[in-house]
C-alpha cells in the first residue's frame, strides 16, 4: 500500500468483507488453515498496531515541536547566563567547573616572528587581490576612447499640441513580410 491511511482503509474493508460475505469460511494459506474469525483477528491486530504507531508518531511530533519552541526561548537566556558566569568567575576555574563550564584558555601572546609573518601575509594578500584604500580608489579614473557622447536636449513643451505637426509626420514603414 502507498500510505498508512490507504493501508488502514484496505485492512478495514478486508475485515468487513470477510465478515459480510464469508462469515463461516475456512482458508488454507501457506499450508496453514485459517478461519474467517482468525483472519479478522489478525487484520484487527495489524490495524491496531498501525493506529498505535500513528498515535506515537503524532505524540513524538508534538514533543519535538514543544522542544523546539522551548529552545527558541531558553537557549538565548542560557547562553547569556553562561557568558555572565564566565565574566564573573574568570579567575576561578574550579567555580566555573562547578557550573559545568570549561574555562576559556588563556590567549598566548604572539612572538615577534609571528607578528611579522602575519603582517607580511596580509600585505601579500592585499597585493594579490588588488585591494586599495578609499583614497587610492578615488584617484583611479577611467578613460573612454572612440566613443562620442552627444548631450540629449529636450525641446520646451508647447502648451497645446498642434494637429498640423501630427499630420505632417510620416507614417511608419510597413513591416516586411516573412
Amino acid 144: pLDDT:
63
Cα–Cα distances in angstroms (integers) from residue 16 to residues 23, 36, 75, 154, in the given order: 10, 11, 52, 86
Of residues 147 and 109, more confidently modeled? 109
Of residues 83 and 164, more confidently modeled? 83
Instruction: Categorize the per-residue pLDDT at 104 as very low, low, confident or very high, splitting at 50, 70 and 90.
Output: confident
| Percentage of the residues of the chain whose pLDDT score is greater than 70 | 82
* Phi, psi dihedrals of residue 103, rounded to the nearest 5°: -60, 140
Amino acid 153: pLDDT:
78
The residue whose grid cell reads 566613443 is 147
Q: Which long-range contacts (CB under 8 A, 24 or more apart) does 135-143 make?
A: none
Amino acid at each position: 500500500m502507498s500510505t498508512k491511511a490507504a493501508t488502514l482503509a484496505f485492512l478495514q474493508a478486508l475485515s468487513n468483507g470477510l465478515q459480510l460475505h464469508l462469515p463461516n469460511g475456512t482458508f488454507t494459506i501457506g499450508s496453514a488453515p485459517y478461519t474467517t474469525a482468525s483472519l479478522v483477528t489478525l487484520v484487527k491486530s495489524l490495524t491496531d498496531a498501525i493506529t498505535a504507531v500513528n498515535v506515537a508518531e503524532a505524540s513524538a511530533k508534538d514533543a519535538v515541536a514543544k522542544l523546539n519552541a522551548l529552545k527558541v526561548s531558553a537557549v538565548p537566556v542560557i547562553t547569556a547566563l553562561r557568558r555572565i558566569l564566565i565574566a564573573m568567575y574568570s579567575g576561578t576555574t574550579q567555580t566555573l567547573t562547578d557550573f559545568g563550564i570549561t574555562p576559556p584558555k588563556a590567549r598566548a601572546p604572539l612572538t615577534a616572528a609571528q607578528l611579522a609573518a602575519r603582517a607580511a601575509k596580509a600585505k601579500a594578500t592585499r597585493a594579490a587581490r588588488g585591494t586599495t584604500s578609499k583614497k587610492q580608489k578615488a584617484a583611479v579614473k577611467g578613460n573612454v576612447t572612440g566613443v562620442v557622447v552627444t548631450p540629449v536636449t529636450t525641446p520646451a513643451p508647447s502648451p497645446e499640441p498642434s494637429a498640423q505637426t501630427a499630420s505632417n509626420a510620416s507614417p511608419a514603414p510597413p513591416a516586411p513580410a516573412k
